């Protein structure tokens, strides 16, 4: 399977913005692309502003049905393993892998952009299958989304170390939303993460809106050809 798995150092960190931007940019390049998110939670809450729920935005960028992007969808804004328990459902790891493969096409003809849930060590199932285990099962390289400011060096290095400990190839880090006039500390965070980890650090400016074309323009600023090569 060819593609990228987008994780983050936290929840609400910008994974959907980055994954949607990558999906939209690839589609705008004429690349066949599929999007995947193992589970969406928090559907009871109104989406904020003009940004739809994760699976809806990813689906719009990939030209898919939202249900085909995310096989498991829950109302409460809690970790997937708890959301499933509250709903009396069981998240099945084999179902997740099958849904990701379906999004990538029967013969893997679509580049798959997968967005994680929360961070890398979030449990997906009651029996302790983590997001990291899914990344390993799919065999996708990783992109780590992180905030630009104070604390990001530690969170990003922890995520990279947790990924590498499982043999995952970390292709890139994206600091988002990157301010128009970054502080010396924010610039230093980018160069320090790069120096400590050996992973290239990219930045993503705040997108003006969440239309597919605005996301495609944002995604075009990211080095996805390099990450996918
Ligand atoms: N480049 C950006 N442009 C605009 N908004 C951004 C950008 N980066 C982060 N944000 C904002 O940060 C918040 C979180 O973004 P997003 O929904 O992508 O996070 P997430 O990591 O996918 O969250 P979740 O864990 O719920 O899936 C949103 O309000 C989003 O608007
Ligand atoms: Mg998200």
pLDDT value of residue 170: 99
pLDDT value of residue 57: 98
CA distance 6 to 14: 10
pLDDT value of residue 212: 98
Nearest CA owner, ligand 1 atom 15:
14
Ligand 1 pocket residue status of 14, Cβ below 6 Å: yes
Alpha helix ranges (H) inside the chain: 15-28, 54-62, 66-69, 80-86, 93-103, 131-138, 152-165, 184-197, 212-219, 224-228
Ligand 1 pocket residue status of 19, Cβ below 6 Å: no
CA distance 75 to 87: 9
pLDDT value of residue 48: 80
Ligand 1 pocket residue status of 118, Cβ below 6 Å: yes
CA distance 37 to 217: 22
Catalytic positions, please? 37
Residue 115: which of 154, 52, 57, 159 has the closest Cα?
A: 57
pLDDT value of residue 189: 98
Residue 49: which of 205, 212, 221, 208 has the closest Cα?
A: 208
pLDDT value of residue 102: 98
pTM above 0.95, yes or no: yes
Task: Convert the pLDDT of each residue in 149-180 to its tens digit.
Answer: 999 999 999 999 999 999 999 999 999 999 99
- Contact present, 33 and 69 (Cβ < 8 Å): no
pLDDT value of residue 3: 98
Q: Average pLDDT of each block of 10 consecutive residues along the chain (229 residues)?
A: 98 98 98 98 90 97 98 96 96 97 96 98 94 98 98 98 98 98 98 98 98 98 98
Nearest CA owner, ligand 1 atom 14:
12
Ligand 1 pocket residue status of 16, Cβ below 6 Å: yes
Ligand 1 pocket residue status of 221, Cβ below 6 Å: no
Nearest CA owner, ligand 1 atom 2:
206
**Of ligand 1's atoms, which has the minimum distance to the CA of residue 48?**
29
Fold classification of 3-228 (topology level) = Rossmann fold (3.40.50)
- The H or E element that residue 172 is part of is strand 170-178
Q: How far is the CA of 196 from the centre of ligand 1 (A)?
A: 25
């Amino acid at each position: 399977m060819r593609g990228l798995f987008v994780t983050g150092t936290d929840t609400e960190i910008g994974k959907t913005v980055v994954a949607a931007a990558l999906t939209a940019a690839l589609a705008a390049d004429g690349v066949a692309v599929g999007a995947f998110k193992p589970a969406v939670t928090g559907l009871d809450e109104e989406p904020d502003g003009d940004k739809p729920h994760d699976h809806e935005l990813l689906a719009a960028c990939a030209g898919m049905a939202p249900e085909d992007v995310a096989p498991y969808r829950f109302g409460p804004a809690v970790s997937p393993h708890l959301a499933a328990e509250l709903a009396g459902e069981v998240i099945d790891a084999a179902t997740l892998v099958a849904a990701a493969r379906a999004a990538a096409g029967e013969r893997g003809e679509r580049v798959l952009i997968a967005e994680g849930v929360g961070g890398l060590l979030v449990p997906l199932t009651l029996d302790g299958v983590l997001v990291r285990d899914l990344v390993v099962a799919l065999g996708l390289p990783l992109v780590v989304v992180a905030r630009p400011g104070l604390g990001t060096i530690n969170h990003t290095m922890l995520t990279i170390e947790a990924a590498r400990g499982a043999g995952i190839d970390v292709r890139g880090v994206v600091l988002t939303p990157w301010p128009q006039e970054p502080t010396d500390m924010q610039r230093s965070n980018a160069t320090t993460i790069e120096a400590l980890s050996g992973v290239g650090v990219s930045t993503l400016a705040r997108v003006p809106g969440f239309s597919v074309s605005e996301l495609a323009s944002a995604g075009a600023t990211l080095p996805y050809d390099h990450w996918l090569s």
